[in-house]
Amino acid sequence: MPVTPAVAVVLTASERHRLKKMAYGHKTPHQARQRATILLLAARGCPNARIAAQTRMHVDTVRTWRGRFAAGGLPALSDRRRSGRPPSFTPL
């Protein structure tokens, strides 16, 4: 089975700054912090397997976020809308 090469991640200065704030911010949600860390390591040229080992995530997760960023930039890092039952309680 042929292995597809990893998507190259090239960051602008403003994207790098925002990702660093997300990755190292104390009030950043855990998932956003993980995604930012993946992209910062990918921008350094690390392969997916090494990023997965460093972040203790699955290679498929790394590949997914790397691909989503390549396709849609920083806005693509947010969670997609999910189907399902609407919430029955309003958040406080």
91: left (phi over 0), alpha (psi -120 to 50) or beta: beta
**What tens digit of pLDDT does each residue of 16-25 get?**
999 999 999 9
Alpha-carbon distance of 18 to 28, in angstroms, equals 12
Token match 């042929």: residue? 2
| pTM for this entry | 0.81
CA dist., res. 50 & res. 6, Å (int): 12
Residue 78 pLDDT level (bands cut at 50, 70, 90): confident
Q: pLDDT per residue over 32-49, tens digit each?
A: 999 999 999 999 999 999
CA dihedral of 78, 12, 44, 4, whole degrees rounded to 10: 60
